[in-house]
């Protein structure tokens, strides 16, 4: 046993919902005495669920980027914007600093989530010792910044409600924004269903 004992080595389980330290009774569907949630040593089917959600998110991510998310019609001039062209427009005409923020929220963050979560999954499956502290950190980062990707969805919704001049000009949401919203939700669910404890579930030789 190393200097830093882990819960299963001491016959303990930490409740995933309320954090209560419980004795591991080895009963199949034990419940937390404090909050009543069922106790698990690890999140059930963590890898399978995370893979499924991540792949689903990636499938939605393709139309989210290819299809336009917003139509701006002004005096007969129709202009369809995808996520990327919206960023470019903001860069060219408006303010480059905001363009950087939008670019980060709607392109860098989702991409990073796909990369990070699949790296975490693959390395957890192989049970490697490689860069475990850094992998933990990456996981926490993804959890923390994940929901900021909703930014673009809210922008489209706001502009739609705001620019409604009927004949003169109008902003309409297009299907891309729906796919993008679903991508964000699915990646959030994927990162929540990944169990970071798996990163540390391997032989302890060099710590």
Partner 1 sequence: MSTPPAAVEQAQKSMSSTLMICEHCDTVHHRRPLARGEVARCARCNAVLERHQRIGLDAMFALVVTVMVVFIQANVWPIITLGLNGEEIHATLWGIIIMMWKEHSQVVSVLAAATLFFFPLCKMGILGWLLIFGRKGQRAPGFVPLMVVLHYIAPWTMSEVFVLGVLVSIVKAQLYFDVTPNIGAFAYAALALLITIFSGIDLHQLWDKLPAESTS
User: Restricting to residues 16-75, which ones interact with partner 1 according to CB under 8 A?
Assistant: 16-23, 31, 33-37, 74
The residue from 47, 138, 156, 186 that contacts partner 1 (CB under 8 A) is 156
The residue from 133, 167, 205, 206 that contacts partner 1 (CB under 8 A) is 133
Alpha-carbon distance 129 to 123, whole Å? 9
Buried b (16+ CB within 10 A) or exposed e, 75-96: eeeeeebbbeebbeebbeeeee
In the chain, the N- to C-terminal Cα span, in Å, equals: 12
Interface with partner 1, residue 85, by CB under 8 A: no
Residue closer to partner 1 by CB (options 54, 153) is 153
Contact region for partner 1 (CB under 8 A) — 46-54, 101-109, 116-124? 101-109
**Paired strand residues for 22:** 13
Residue closer to partner 1 by CB (options 15, 51) is 15
Q: Where are the beta strands (DSSP E) in 7-49?
A: 12-14, 21-23
Interface with partner 1, residue 151, by CB under 8 A: yes
Interface with partner 1, residue 78, by CB under 8 A: no
Interface with partner 1, residue 4, by CB under 8 A: yes
Tokens standing for residue 76: 């007969």
Contact region for partner 1 (CB under 8 A) — 51-59, 108-116, 120-128, 171-179? 171-179
Tokens standing for residue 55: 């792949």
């Amino acid at each position: 046993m190393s200097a830093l004992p882990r819960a299963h080595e001491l016959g303990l389980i930490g409740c995933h919902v309320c954090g209560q330290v419980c004795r591991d009774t080895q009963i199949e569907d034990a419940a937390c005495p404090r909050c009543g949630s069922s106790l698990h040593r690890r999140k059930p089917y963590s890898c399978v669920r995370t893979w499924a959600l991540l792949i689903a998110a990636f499938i939605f991510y393709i139309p989210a980027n290819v299809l336009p998310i917003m139509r701006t019609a002004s005096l007969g001039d129709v202009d369809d914007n995808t996520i990327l062209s919206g960023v470019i427009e903001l860069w060219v005409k408006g303010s480059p600093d905001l363009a950087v923020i939008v670019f980060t929220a709607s392109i860098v963050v989702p991409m990073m989530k796909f990369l990070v979560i699949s790296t975490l999954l693959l390395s957890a499956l192989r049970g490697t010792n490689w860069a475990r502290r850094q992998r933990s950190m990456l996981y926490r980062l993804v959890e923390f910044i994940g929901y900021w990707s909703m930014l673009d969805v809210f922008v489209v919704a706001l502009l739609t409600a705001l620019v409604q001049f009927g004949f003169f000009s109008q902003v309409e949401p297009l299907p891309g924004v729906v796919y993008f919203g679903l991508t964000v939700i699915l990646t959030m669910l994927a990162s929540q269903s990944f169990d970071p404890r798996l990163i540390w579930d391997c032989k302890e030789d060099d710590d």
